């Protein structure tokens, strides 16, 4: 059953703590993305990776970090430097070739107390 898994669905952390959000895919897609969604706003790109061991900053990368050690996995760390981390985080992959569609995971809602 192919798809994108994000865990956990809900995550609570205390202010000042780093937290890592998981994203795993078995679609065999090279490109992966992290977006942030806030109420009443569209999705904003945090980081993306086009291939293993390579990633680039998106539009709102400050306070976040990523790694891409395996094709299947693209974890996102929300650091204590992120001033307003409470949000819904969505991971996506992109199919190769001309189709070039993005597929989204179910998301993780992070609440910082």
Partner 1 sequence: GDSVTQMEGPVTLSEEAFLTINCTYTATGYPSLFWYVQYPGEGLQLLLKATKADDKGSNKGFEATYRKETTSFHLEKGSVQVSDSAVYFCALRGIQGAQKLVFGQGTRLTINP
Query: Rounded to the nearest whole angstrom, what is the least distance from the CB of residue 101 to partner 1 in the complex?
Result: 6
**Of 12-20, 39-47, 68-76, 77-85, which part binds partner 1 (CB under 8 A)?**
39-47
Q: Evaluate the CA torsion angle 80, 57, 77, 90 in order and state its sign.
A: positive
Residue 25 near residue 31 (C-beta atoms within 8 A): no
Measured from the CB atom, is 16 or 98 closer to partner 1? 98
Query: 69's torsion region: left (phi>0), alpha (psi -120 to 50) or beta?
Result: alpha
Q: Please name which of 11, 5, 49 lies closest in space to residue 25, comparing C-alpha atoms.
A: 5
**46 lies in the binding site for partner 1 (CB under 8 A):** no
**Of 11-19, 67-75, 77-85, 93-101, which part binds partner 1 (CB under 8 A)?**
93-101
Strand order through the sheet with 19-25: 4-7, 19-25, 76-78, 64-66
Kindly state the number of chain residues that form the binding site for partner 1, as judged by CB under 8 A: 25
Judged by the rule CB under 8 A, the positions of this chain that interact with partner 1 are 4, 6, 9, 31, 33, 40-45, 48, 50, 58, 90, 92, 94, 100-107
């Amino acid at each position: 059953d192919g798809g994108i898994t994000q865990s956990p669905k809900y995550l609570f952390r205390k202010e000042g703590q780093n937290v890592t959000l998981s994203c795993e895919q078995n679609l065999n897609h090279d490109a992966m993305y992290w977006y942030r969604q806030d109420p009443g706003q569209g999705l904003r790109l945090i980081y993306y990776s086009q291939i293993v061991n390579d990633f680039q900053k998106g539009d709102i990368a400050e306070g976040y970090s990523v790694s891409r050690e395996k094709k299947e996995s693209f974890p996102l760390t929300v650091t204590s430097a992120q001033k307003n981390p409470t949000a819904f985080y969505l991971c996506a992959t992109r199919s190769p070739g001309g189709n070039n569609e993005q597929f989204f995971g179910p998301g993780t809602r992070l609440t910082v107390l």
